[in-house]
Amino acid sequence: MAIGQNKVVTMNFTLKDEQGKIIQTTNNNSPFQFLSGNQQILPKLEEEIDHMIIGSKKNVKIPAKEAYGEYSEQAVQQVSKNNFPKDIELEVGMEFIANSTKGEQMPFVVKEIKNEEVTIDYNHPLAGENLEFDIELVDVRDATVEELQHGHVHGPGGHHH
């Protein structure tokens, strides 16, 4: 039986890149929770979890194009230092959010600073990475009316107000 929509799904997971390097894990932490059918996790991952049984484990491999996309050279751009607030000491690795002309928020990271020229990267930090998840499905329950109204999970491991 599929988990379906609007359930609170509790799981443990370890996310690794292709080289087996751990990117994120719930080990030694509270399990992760999400509201199913609400685009809170990668669609491909949710599809795989949908058919899991509580207490079971699964290894899920997700290629970059179905995860955070391929790495795009076009998303790497050069801009002048003048575009940044004067009171900020720019450093490589700093993250900012630009607003597109359409009003979308576009996060980027500073990759390189050369004199007055700054190289910025709009790629998601995990773009181009083939990902591997080790999943353990811990629990599935119905979401409360309040959780559905808010669009997120409440209580332990979830949102606190």
Q: How far is the CB of 77 from Zn ion (least distance, A)?
A: 37
Q: How far is the CB of 158 from Zn ion (least distance, A)?
A: 8
Residue whose beta carbon is closest to Zn ion: 150
For Zn ion, which is the closer residue by CB, 44 or 150?
Answer: 150
Report the alpha-carbon distance of residue 25 to residue 14 in Å, rounded: 4
For Zn ion, which is the closer residue by CB, 82 or 149?
Answer: 149
List the interface residues with Zn ion, window 101-160 (CB under 5 A): 150, 159
For Zn ion, which is the closer residue by CB, 35 or 62?
Answer: 35
List the interface residues with Zn ion, window 15-34 (CB under 5 A): none
How many residues of this chain bind Zn ion (CB under 5 A)? 2
For Zn ion, which is the closer residue by CB, 124 or 150?
Answer: 150
b/e code 69-105 from CB counts within 10 Å (16+ = b): eeeeeeeeeeeeeeebeeeeeeeeeeeeeeeeeeeee
- Asked if 44 is part of the footprint of Zn ion (rule: CB under 5 A), the reply reads no
List all residues 6 or more positions away from 99 whose beta carbon is below 8 Å from its beta carbon. 105, 106
Closest CA to 42 of 14, 69, 11, 19: 69
List all residues 6 or more positions away from 115 whose beta carbon is below 8 Å from its beta carbon. none
**C-alpha count within 13 angstroms, C-beta hemisphere, residue 58:** 18
For Zn ion, which is the closer residue by CB, 69 or 157?
Answer: 157
Q: Give the interface with Zn ion as residue ranges (CB under 5 A).
A: 150, 159
